[in-house]
Amino acid sequence: MRCEYLRVTVTYAQEGDTVYLLLLGGSKDSQQSDIAKACTLWQQVQNDTKEYPHDR
């Protein structure tokens, strides 16, 4: 999910009571690449929490 404020896009995801914020700089030209990076990082977070559930 994204919200735009002052031309800055904040990408975030929520899992249970935890909200993860991903702050990336970019432009409209790199928007698709930025979204792909955000998805990759979110997958890494999900894998890490499965592997180490008590380290959050």
Between 25 and 34, the higher pLDDT residue: 34
Q: pTM for the whole thing?
A: 0.60
User: Helix, strand, coil % (nearest 5) of the chain?
Assistant: 45, 30, 25
Q: What is the pLDDT of residue 7?
A: 62
Confidence class for position 48, pLDDT limits 50, 70, 90: confident
Letter for the amino acid at 53?
P
**Look-up of token digits 């899992």:** 15
Contact 50, 42 (CB under 8 A): no
Q: Would you state the pLDDT for residue 45?
A: 83
Residue 46 banded pLDDT, cuts 50, 70, 90: confident
Task: Say which residue, 32 or 23, is predicted with more confidence.
Answer: 32
